[in-house]
Structure 1
Amino acid sequence: MGRYLQQLGLCLLVVALVTAGCQAPVADAGSGGTTTPATTPNENGTISGAAPNITVLNGSLELDPGEVFARVQHVSGSNVTAPTAVRVFDTSDEFYNSTPTGLGPNTLPRFWRVAGVETDPVNSSALEIQKNGYVTGTGAVTIYLNPNTTVADERLLLAHEFTHYIQIQENQQAQLNGELDGRTTQSAYVRRALVEGAAVFTTDAYVREYAPGEQLNSPWYDEIQASYPAGHVGQFQNGRYVHGYDYVAERVDSPTELGDVYENPPRTGEQLLHHLAPGNEQPTDLMVDSTTGDDWVASGTDRMGEPFVRYALASDVGTERAARAATGWGNDSLHVFRPIDGGNASYVWVLNWDDQANASEFEQTLRAALDARGNATDGTWSLSDSDAAAAITEVDEETTAVAFGSETFVATTTITGSDSSVSIETE
């Protein structure tokens, strides 16, 4: 499915939408009009027979969606029933109002801000809403084309969204859900990166075969990535397209081979970022338990993953240093604590590293990032950008923990352990 791209920046899209690139002053097919049957390529790539007749609802398209779908099927090696219709909007308000309940910009989890992810609005022409689309779980395809959309953009968007439609019809997205354990931030990131990366990869293959010389899909996401400041939440979210595409392109030569990626996906953000096979660099052993006193209650855990570490540090130390510090990630465990009498949550984030050198580099980089965000007194930082305090604990040579939250929580929480076994105790 697709994703929302907002003009001024908070492109936090923990939703099921993808945009591939689409705009065009289009020929009027009329509301509810149908496309002219075209031809579909056979297994040898030549033309024979009629393409599926896909109805265009609400707006109009320059291209025949049936022909585009048939060609995407050929490139991907799939054989599913075509969608009956494509719904087209030419205003962003209508498009966003059309989305299913729950799809849209989400509220950013507080921990993301506390950990250092940049959230300020961004002004950039590359982030203007130009094209967008989504596919629902039932296979309904919807796209948005603003008045400046070109035929090439329209082609990218249709091919991208039809790839998502095929993924749903062939249960490939559901297959990834089954292969990726849990509902953690890391597993959600990896899953979405593979769904989007496969769509970008397939769309590029479609363009190379049927529209040679036109812009590919993948450079558009690189442009978006470069338009955000380092460590912006938009970079983290858009990174799923960039890193997902890079992983898929490294692992397979053709969209027809993507079945192996769906069946044997990377399990961690580390494997995704570094193009590792699922069996390589397994997460290290990390056991974390917590004991709360009368004032706090443990309210949840999460695993953030190497991509989150990278982008959380980047806004304060730069992209390259953040990437170096995040490399060597072994495992992590985020624990959330809420005050009994109400108020903001506090957090303990425990990170285990492949070796002492990686742990040391991360800790030094984290200290530099916290120094950039606030003043330290007796080992505790007051972070002016998130109304929170922070303190680092070196649990052992390969394990680092950082407490974020109220000054009372940070001052009275004890973190101890060794050999990747960590205990958190709040007074």
Structure 2
Amino acid sequence: MSVRPVAVAVALCLLLAGCAAPTVSPAADAVDGDEPRSAGSGSAESPTADRSPRTAVAERSGRSAPHGGGTPEASSTPSAEPGSPAALADGYAIAVEGGELPTAYAPVFARVAVLTGRPTVTPPDRVAIRSPDRMRVGRDRYPEFYRLVGVAAGDGNGTAAAFVGSAGTVTVNAAVLADAGDTESVLAHESVHVIQFRDGAFARLRDRGAVAPGTTEARLLRTAVVEGSATAVQRAYVERYGVDAPDPVAALGARAANGSTAERLGLAPYVVGARYVERRVDDWATLASVYESPPRTTEELLHDRPPGSEPVAPLVVEDDPTDEWDAAFGERDTHGELFLRVVLAGELPDSRAAAGADGWGNGVRLAFEHETERGAVATGYAWVIRFDDAANATEFERAFGAWRDARPDGAGAVRAVRPADRTVAVFVGNESFVASASAAGTDGRVTVGAAG
């Protein structure tokens, strides 16, 4: 595919991004150099894990939530006011292929278009309903580094609730259609992605991060803006129209809190991104301002700081040319504060993980290879993280020690050293590499070496 789907909805216990599957992480797919995917745990066939957010939505909206999400306004009337969602919906011609929707899509798209200040935007041409077996996405295995730090795939791949692969088509999993309220919530989310396509939001967000494009940090950040915007508008839609569906942000947050590290990593862009967008946008008609001036690091995203206010600190990581391990510079990556927080939260309470990741300033992860006596290639990884100050580096060291001690038996060798006041190097992978690796230098330049 020339364009990997960009979106999914989150009303069910599955949730994914960009045609994403519950068992896939945007970080994991980043190595392929394509659009990010998100992860959850479950599938579109699964029942909603926690329906309690439905009640909260009805209370906040000030009305009882009608089953199926439709309100009288959802159907166009002969006296529809020009420019109103009902009048706009009357002018749409959106085909539905592969089945029937339990709620009309034209009013949903019109509402989202008006809500986001884009009443003249062109709707998609069609909604394509697909069977669950045609919506399967995901990975059976994560890249080695992710597995070594605790991010591993669950039990098989999942299925996407829905996705938008182009502005002309919204593809929906037939399993979602069992509940009209969930369907309406999902369609509201996907409508935001259609508008993002129409308005060129993806192009505007390309290469806007403070770190190199294609890195884990850059992809998580971009996914958080794209999916966070859609999820935030989805929540606003559910509340405004009294839709009988869970609060998507609350439901995803609860799912992440009880999920695996892989699930947390996949859901984090939705939850953190939605909260950031909600804090920043006072009027949904100004949503595009987030695409025009997005956060440049996940540190800014997490701490609600102005774009560009937290520039990455200088950091160069070099290979000791005299040792027996060679750096594979093509596998260089940067994992930002969000990734670091999620990894620590795999073994630590959320507050402890957040404190350990706080103050992230920059990071470089390199793979090192060495040919053994038997001709096999052993691999080890050096993850060098520079913090804003020595106190943050110390807090990370303490959190890392607790994280290391809490890891299950057989999780693999890990070790950390501190080459400078603000910098910590973490070694994982081959036991010989982890045991012999060293890091020396200054906060801005570190050299890594290891004995054979």
Question: What is the TM-score normalised by the length of structure 1?
Answer: 0.82
Please name the residue that 2:319 is paired with: 290
> In the TM superposition, what is the alpha-carbon distance from 1:18 to its structure 2 partner?
9.3
SS in 2 for 1:281: coil
2:302 matches 1:273:
yes
Change (3 A) 1:171 1:321: same
Residues 348-393 of structure 1: CA deviation (Å, up to 9, x unaligned): 011111111111111111112212237xxxxxxxxx434x422211
Write the distance in 1 (CA, Å) between the matches of 2:439 and 2:103: 61
Pair 1:335-2:366 in alignment: yes
- Contact kept, 8 Å, 2:362 with 2:386, in 1: the verdict is yes
AA paired with 1:218?
V
Secondary structure of 2:161's counterpart equals strand
- Per-residue deviation, 1:178: 3.3
Of residues 400-409 and 151-160 in structure 1, the stretch that sits farther from structure 2 once superposed is: 400-409
What SS does structure 1 have at the residue aligned with 2:413? strand
Moved runs in structure 1, 4+ residues, more than 6 A? 6-9, 17-23
1:319 to 333, 336, 350: 350
Aligned partners of 2:81, 2:393: CA distance in 1, in Å? 54
Seen in structure 2, the aligned counterparts of structure 1 residues 250 and 106 have a Cα distance that, compared at 3 Å, is farther
178-187 or 163-172, larger mean C-alpha shift: 178-187
Considering only aligned residues, what root-mean-square deviation do their CA atoms show, in Å? Answer: 3.4
Greater relative contact order (Cα < 8 A, sep 6+): 2
Match of 1:385 among 410, 420, 423: 410
Q: Which amino acid aligns with 2:291?
A: Y
1:198 correspondence with 2:229: yes
Contact 2:125 2:168 in 1 (8 A): no
Amino acid across the alignment from 1:92? P
Is the CA contact 1:87–1:142 (under 8 Å) kept in the aligned structure 2? yes
Partner of 1:370: 404
Matched AA of 1:233: A
Q: 1: distance between equivalents of 2:111 and 2:342?
A: 37
CA–CA distance in structure 2, aligned partners of residues 344 and 12 of structure 1: 26
| Residue 83 of structure 1 pairs with residue 107 of structure 2 | no
- With normalisation by structure 2, the TM-score equals 0.78
Alpha-carbon spacing, 1:143–1:318, altered in 2? closer, same or farther (3 Å): same
> Using a 3 Å threshold, how does the CA distance of structure 1 residues 16 and 236 change in structure 2: closer, same or farther?
closer
State how far apart, in whole Å, the 2-side matches of 1:313 and 1:109 are: 18
Which letter does structure 1 place at the counterpart of 2:25? L
Q: Say if 1:52 and 1:67, in contact at 8 Å, map to a contact too.
A: no
Paired residues, number: 394
Aligned amino acid, residue 385 of structure 1: G
Aligned AA (2:123): A
Q: What stretches of structure 1 of length at least 5 have no aligned partner?
A: 28-35, 97-102, 375-383
Query: What's the offset of the Cα at 1:43?
Result: 4.4
1:413 aligns with 2:447: no
Correspondent of 1:149 among 162, 178, 182: 178
Structure showing the higher strand proportion among its residues: 1
**1:140 equivalent in structure 2:** 169
Structure 1 partner of 2:25: 12
Question: Would the alpha carbon gap of residues 335 and 65 (structure 1) be closer, same or farther in structure 2, given more than 3 Å must change?
Answer: same
Give the direction of change, closer, same or farther, for the CA distance of 1:21–1:200 in structure 2 (3 Å limit). farther
Q: Secondary structure at the match of 1:280?
A: coil
Separation in 2, partners of 1:41, 1:188: 42
Contact 2:182 2:245 in 1 (8 A): no
Gaps in structure 2 of 5+ consecutive residues = 1-5, 30-35, 48-67, 69-73
Indicate conservation of the 8 Å contact 1:41/1:74, yes or no.
no
Question: For the Cα contact (< 8 Å) 1:197–1:244, is it kept in 2?
Answer: yes
Match of 2:62 in 1: none
Q: Which amino acid aligns with 2:315?
A: L
Corresponding letter in the other structure for 2:326: W
Partner of 2:274: 245
| One-letter amino acid of the counterpart of residue 328, structure 2 | A
State, as a whole percentage, how many aligned pairs show the same letter.
30
Cα 1:48–1:69 shift into 2, 3 Å: closer
